[in-house]
A and B are shown apart, each in its own frame.
Chain A
Amino acid sequence: MIDTPMLQTLAHFLDVTSFRHTLITSNMANIDTPGYRTRDINFLQELHRAATRVEWALYSPVTRQVQGLVERPDGNNVSLERESLLLAEVQLRFRTAVELVRSEFRQLSAAINEGK
């Protein structure tokens, strides 16, 4: 199996990013659920945890409630703007990482083909 440090880091990055995307989706789904609190992760901390974990399947990120959001009378504090902006940001981050993975594979492929 071909594996480079760059690919490993990118894999962790993609993992944490897609997890964050799930959280944002979940926040958006619960925009009308009474008492629901916005949840998020500490991105850098999770990236570090993902990089230093031992087992693949046992990775369970720590989520936290986001502080400082305006709470509605029904106890829900999901902010449409925050979630929309984060969704766009996370999408672009994901895209960046995917492009980097592809370029890494292109480089590997070039290295293989040049040897022919």
Chain B
Amino acid sequence: MNLFGMLELSGMALIAERQRAEVVASNMANAETTRTLEGGPYQRRLVVFRSRRLPQFPALLAGVRQNVGQGVRVDQVVRDATNPVRRYEPGHPDADAQGYVGYPAINPVDEMTDLLGAVRAYELNASAVQASKMMIQQALEILR
């Protein structure tokens, strides 16, 4: 059985959760952005996770496609298609003919909740890395 494969599994989860936290941070940073490269207000981004099968090295050596662990990765980053929130600000340079400005539909509470979720999941997987490391070290103890 491949002990080192577990580290890779947890590592994938760490990367995915960090990407999620980055996307959330970007959402929070752009909560009031009315100008983007594509034009119009910033659109909220959402990550979509997908589990990915990880072939195990010893099985590959033996020519068997044995899938044991399922890693995870960010499959895509989608845009939230919710319409922009319209606020009446006639003096704003991006205001339309009626004096309304379209702001991104971002709720800071939602984003904070998502961020906390990402942090907790990151911690969980970091503790799994610790556990795997200890198991590998203990296995090495046999050699002493």
Chain A residues packing against B (C-beta within 8 Å): 14-15, 18-19, 21-26, 28-34, 36, 39, 57-58, 60-61, 80, 83-84, 87-88, 91, 94-95, 98, 101-102, 105
Separation in Å of the A32 CB from the closest CB of chain B? 5
Q: Is the CB of B142 within 8 A of A22?
A: no
Q: Is the CB of B135 within 8 A of A28?
A: no
Q: List 5 A-B pairs, minimum CB-CB distance, nearest first.
A: A57-B62, A29-B13, A26-B69, A18-B1, A33-B49
Q: Is the CB of B72 within 8 A of A84?
A: no
Separation in Å of the A49 CB from the closest CB of chain B? 13
Between A and B, 29 residue pairs with Cβ closer than 8 Å are: A14-B1, A14-B139, A18-B1, A19-B68, A21-B6, A21-B132, A22-B6, A22-B68, A22-B69, A26-B9, A26-B69, A28-B124, A29-B12, A29-B72, A29-B125, A30-B70, A33-B49, A57-B59, A57-B64, A61-B68, A84-B124, A84-B127, A91-B135, A94-B135, A95-B138, A98-B139, A98-B141, A98-B142, A101-B142
Q: Is B116 an interface residue (CB 8 A)?
A: no
Contact of A58 among B64, B121, B134, B141 (CB under 8 A): B64
Contact of A21 among B62, B118, B131 (CB under 8 A): B131
A-B residue pair count with CB separations less than 8 angstroms: 112
Q: When A18-B135, A25-B9, A36-B51 are in contact, do A30 and B72 touch as well, CB less than 8 Å?
A: yes
Closest to A74 in B: B49
| Given A18-B6, A30-B49, 19 extra CB contacts under 8 A | A14-B139, A18-B135, A25-B10, A26-B69, A28-B13, A28-B124, A29-B51, A29-B69, A30-B13, A31-B121, A31-B124, A57-B64, A58-B64, A60-B59, A60-B64, A60-B66, A61-B68, A91-B131, A94-B139
User: For the complex, what is the distance from the CA of A25 to the CA of B10, rounded to whole Å?
Assistant: 6
Q: When A19-B1, A33-B49, A34-B49 are in contact, do A24 and B128 touch as well, CB less than 8 Å?
A: yes
Separation in Å of the A97 CB from the closest CB of chain B? 9
> A30 — which chain B residues lie within 8 A by C-beta?
13, 49, 51, 70, 72
